[in-house]
A = this chain, B = another copy of it.
């Protein structure tokens, strides 16, 4: 079925059919085929080549107030995609142009211009997937989260959790380029080896099998001068351990809380009193806060990539049929690099 095209007038979609409680289960989703709806004036049809599988998607599946409305039941699961305009009723998005946008995990998305929608030039990159990794939200999240929220100064120590992940691996490299000492926390010896050998971390901590107290000891040993910036993607014990070793005026950049997303009950973060005694802060952000500066960030990242000063790993799973098991990898931590689903 994957070879079906827009001209067939049909599309395949990965739908949310019930809201997950805790870990998403296969029954929460359904793959269906249906006719592509006709375009209204101002809309265009994107033939999706790749979809970005991000931890944030898990939050969009819950029915709770957030920065985007929940994915409606019976609708395709929201995701950023990169693809080609296949039909158009919008003059700025002509047929044949490559486009990135917040669409869904489906072969064809009916799109309108929106906050994230942009035409991209795939001749400038070795793969269109770059617009879902280093030149997309992942890269911009690392760039603006580190530089604008964390604001590390040369010589400071930056602690990164999920340090081998799509965002974390970039944050470590960017912090190092900034003249910082970098400590990464990841799960398992293989990832820790990648932190040191591939992403240039100065120290790596394996969180497997360790509670907050044990992690705190390892953080202390790896950051004897204390931690100035925490780039937090995980939450739970790793956040609690990081909080115990903050320097005065430290900044905890709250990018994600993947440890909480599948928890049936909210998880708490202890040790907040450290924020008082260290005059430190935890600051959350969304990459969309920096929308007016996306071009600036993308340009800087493209330059570093072209100069070979950062490495970017992508983990591409093949086929819409793989959407569910691929999505689960984010929470199992079995992806190596930015997780992307190849759709076409």
Residues of A participating in the B interface, judged by any CB pair closer than 8 Å: 59, 66-67, 235, 254-257, 260, 266-286, 289
B273 touches A260 (CB 8 A): yes
B283 touches A289 (CB 8 A): no
Q: Whole-angstrom distance from the CB of A330 to the nearest CB of chain B?
A: 16
A276 to B260, CA, bound (A): 13
Residues of B within 8 A of A266 (CB): 270-271
Chain B residue at minimum C-beta to C-beta distance from A265: B270
Q: Which of A59, A235, A255, A279 has the most CB of B within 10 A?
A: A279
Q: Whole-angstrom distance from the CB of A268 to the nearest CB of chain B?
A: 2
Q: Whole-angstrom distance from the CB of A244 to the nearest CB of chain B?
A: 8
A273's contact among B257, B276, B279, by CB below 8 Å, is which?
B257
A282 touches B273 (CB 8 A): no
A267's contact among B268, B283, B285, B289, by CB below 8 Å, is which?
B268
B285 touches A276 (CB 8 A): yes
A277 touches B273 (CB 8 A): no
Copy number in this complex? 2
A contact face: mostly helix, strand, loop, or mixed: loop
A280's contact among B277, B280, B284, by CB below 8 Å, is which?
B284
B268 touches A275 (CB 8 A): no
Residues of B within 8 A of A285 (CB): 276, 279
Add 6 more A-B contacts to A235-B272, A260-B273, A272-B282 (CB < 8 A): A66-B277, A254-B276, A257-B276, A275-B283, A276-B285, A283-B283
Residues of B within 8 A of A257 (CB): 272-273, 276
Q: Whole-angstrom distance from the CB of A284 to the nearest CB of chain B?
A: 3
Q: Which of A66, A255, A272, A279 has the most CB of B within 10 A?
A: A272
B282 touches A275 (CB 8 A): yes
Q: 10 closest Cβ contacts across the A-B interface? A: A268-B268, A275-B284, A266-B270, A281-B283, A276-B284, A67-B277, A268-B270, A282-B282, A66-B277, A279-B285
Q: Whole-angstrom distance from the CB of A2 to the nearest CB of chain B?
A: 35
Residues of B within 8 A of A254 (CB): 272, 275-276
17 contacts between A and B (CB under 8 A): A59-B277, A235-B272, A254-B272, A257-B272, A266-B270, A267-B268, A268-B270, A269-B272, A272-B284, A274-B284, A275-B282, A275-B284, A276-B285, A276-B286, A281-B282, A282-B282, A282-B283
